[in-house]
A and B are shown apart, each in its own frame.
Chain A
Amino acid sequence: QVQLQESGPGLVKPSETLSLSCSVSGVSMSTTGHFWAWIRQPPGGGLEWIASIQSNGRISHNPSFAGRTTMSVDTSKSVFSLRLATVTAADTAKYFCARDLYGFTEFDSWGSGTLVTVSS
């Protein structure tokens, strides 16, 4: 059974960079064809896909983030990460990592999410 767990600071200052990691267990991240994603949900709001990464490091980004996002993956440690630059209060949200099973079509396993607040 695939399990994912997010980690990272719960508070980030405006204009700084948000950094989160996701630990994956129960499956090899190197499995061909699988993607790994970040999705966020502002308080009381809906879901928003941020980006997905393949095991080979190829990244697809949500264009609405205007180049602020970076992802990385370390399959040997079963971890993938997100960096979101120049954050504002609008980036306050619960951030989920998820397995993006075949690329943008179904997110079949999710972490429990981590709340990140952007405030000075």
Chain B
Amino acid sequence: QSALTQPRSVSGSPGQSVTISCTGTTSDVGGYDWVSWYQQHPGKAPKLLIYDVYKRPSGVPARFSGSKSDSTASLTISGLQADDEANYYCSSYAGVHVFVVFGGGTELTVL
């Protein structure tokens, strides 16, 4: 069982928007503004999409955005494209004893 809870799957049609949630506790997501999101295509390494809740690394399209409310972080993908079909993982800093926790992952299907 993962420390952060994500929906197992979400889906959307091309051009639509989808939001993936990531629920933790006050010991991780709710306690720090250090939430990251990763995209992983099958057989590939994860790719950093979002860090520090909402910041995007260079080269990540603005279609990907992050936010947080209390102990739940969210990743929103707007203008869905076929290549967005992948697994998405959230992670959070979790303090000086646990350090890092990941979510169980969400499979995005583009219909």
Contacts and interface: CB of A to CB of B under 8 A. Distances in A.
Given A52-B99, A105-B36, 6 more contacts: A46-B89, A46-B103, A47-B91, A105-B51, A106-B36, A108-B48
A17 B103 CA distance: 27
B111 interface: no
Interface of B: 2, 34, 36, 38, 44-48, 51-52, 57, 89, 91, 93-94, 97-105
Contacts of B99: 49, 52, 60, 62, 104
A48 B1 CA distance: 11
Contacts of B38: 47, 107
Contact of B48 (A60, A104, A106, A111): A106
A2 to B, nearest CB: 12
Interface residues of A, number: 18
Contacts of B34: 104-106
Contacts of A60: 99
Contacts of B98: 62-63
A54 to B, nearest CB: 13
Interface string A27-62: 000000000000000000011110010000000101
A49 B102 contact: yes
17 contacts: A46-B104, A47-B46, A47-B105, A49-B91, A49-B102, A62-B100, A63-B98, A104-B34, A104-B99, A105-B52, A106-B48, A106-B52, A107-B38, A107-B91, A108-B57, A111-B45, A112-B44
Nearest to B6: A46
